[in-house]
């Protein structure tokens, strides 16, 4: 097997011994290094040139990316990009609180269940729910993997796992859903009104549309959103549109929502339950 193929199969990073096991010779590695086609990260560790800076750094620090760092590598949602590591010993200036690993495991891959376990342990509950909702929607874990995860985590984190739903379509919807559950505001999601499906209907009365930058930033999406809100209002519905920042700054928003629910001017329908 040639070096590039072997590295790609091993996730872009590998120990020389693993490469040798796949039939790569030391001569091939040295030639590729001379042509700048691979990187030597530390003694005996090689990678493709395009691996991410944090993956590179993890190898140098002799740790494994986990939690938000692993989530970012896997294309999973996370609130804030930080460098979180499973490492055999603390690394200066690095968040290694997400569990230590045995030195013998350094460089191995952290499995998805370990990553989620660390994430639940380390990140705010609303974001943990955003991750498990995302994985439910993507069918990222099998039923037996979910059960294994449930058996590993403490009660408060198991509650978050039990709330998981494949209905939310974005992390913002999951974060908002978590807040509504916590504050006991009755809500339905993805409710059909006319030809639209609205993100949330609170107490059968207040329509809430959440606008994460990734899906609503284009000019076309912006026009469509305005059109939809105008139509809903013309039908007598009270509508609020929320951004990430507004959802995270919950204090003032809760008052606004509770006041809106008391306003008799707008349309109501019976609450049909989640």
Q: Report the interface residues with Zn ion, using CB under 5 A.
A: 67, 84, 98, 122
- Give the separation between CA 21 and CA 32, rounded to whole angstroms: 18
- The answer to whether 101 and 88 have CB atoms below 8 angstroms apart is yes
Q: Which is nearer to Zn ion, 18 or 117 (CB)?
A: 117
Q: Which is nearer to Zn ion, 84 or 211 (CB)?
A: 84
Residue 252 burial (C-beta neighbours within 10 Å; 0-12, 13-18, 19+): exposed
Q: Which is nearer to Zn ion, 67 or 141 (CB)?
A: 67
Strands 187-193 and 38-42: unpaired
Query: Among positive and negative, which fits the CA dihedral 255, 257, 261, 263?
Result: positive
Closest approach of Cβ 169 to Zn ion, in Å? 25
Which distant-in-sequence residues (6+ apart) come within 8 Å of 26 by Cβ?
16, 20
- Give the separation between CA 240 and CA 206, rounded to whole angstroms: 8
Closest approach of Cβ 66 to Zn ion, in Å? 7
Closest approach of Cβ 93 to Zn ion, in Å? 14
Closest approach of Cβ 99 to Zn ion, in Å? 9
Count each helix (H run) and each strand (E run) in the chain, helices first.
14, 9
Residue found under tokens 């499906």 = 197
- Give the separation between CA 127 and CA 132, rounded to whole angstroms: 9
Q: Which is nearer to Zn ion, 47 or 79 (CB)?
A: 79
Q: Which is nearer to Zn ion, 56 or 84 (CB)?
A: 84
Q: Which is nearer to Zn ion, 105 or 216 (CB)?
A: 105
Closest approach of Cβ 129 to Zn ion, in Å? 16
Q: Which is nearer to Zn ion, 78 or 200 (CB)?
A: 78
- Give the separation between CA 91 and CA 152, rounded to whole angstroms: 26
Closest approach of Cβ 84 to Zn ion, in Å? 4
3-class SS string, 36-96: CCEEEEECCEEEECCCCHHHHHHHHCCCEECHHHHHHHHCCCCCCCCCEEEECCCCCCCEC
Q: Which is nearer to Zn ion, 71 or 260 (CB)?
A: 71
CA torsion 238→244→250→256, rounded to 10°? -20
Closest approach of Cβ 127 to Zn ion, in Å? 11
Closest approach of Cβ 157 to Zn ion, in Å? 13
Residue 30's Cβ-side half-sphere holds a number of Cα atoms within 13 Å equal to 3
């Amino acid at each position: 097997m040639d070096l590039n193929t072997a590295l790609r199969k091993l996730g872009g990073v590998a120990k020389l011994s693993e490469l040798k096991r796949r039939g790569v010779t030391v001569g091939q590695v040295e030639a590729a290094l001379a042509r700048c086609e691979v990187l030597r990260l530390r003694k005996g560790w090689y990678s493709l040139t395009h691996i991410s800076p944090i993956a590179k750094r993890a190898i140098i620090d002799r740790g494994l990316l986990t939690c938000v760092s692993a989530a970012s590598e896997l294309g999973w949602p996370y609130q804030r990009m930080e460098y979180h590591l499973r490492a055999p010993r603390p690394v200066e200036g690095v968040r290694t609180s997400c569990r230590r690993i045995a030195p013998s495991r350094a460089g191995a891959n952290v499995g998805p269940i370990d990553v989620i376990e660390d994430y639940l342990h380390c990140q705010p509950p609303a974001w943990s729910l955003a991750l498990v909702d995302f994985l439910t929607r993507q069918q990222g874990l099998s039923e037996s993997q979910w059960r294994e995860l449930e058996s590993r985590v403490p009660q408060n984190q198991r509650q978050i796992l039990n709330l998981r739903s494949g209905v939310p379509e974005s992390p913002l919807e999951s974060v908002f859903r978590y807040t509504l559950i916590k504050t006991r505001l009755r809500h339905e999601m993805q409710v059909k009104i006319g030809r639209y499906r609205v993100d949330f209907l609170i107490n059968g009365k207040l329509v809430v549309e959440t606008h994460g930058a990734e899906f609503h930033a284009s000019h076309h999406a912006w026009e469509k959103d305005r059109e939809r809100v105008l139509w809903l209002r013309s039908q007598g519905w009270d509508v609020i549109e929320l951004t990430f920042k507004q959802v995270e700054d919950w204090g003032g928003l809760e008052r606004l929502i509770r006041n809106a629910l008391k306003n008799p001017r707008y349309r109501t329908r019976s609450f049909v339950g989640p």
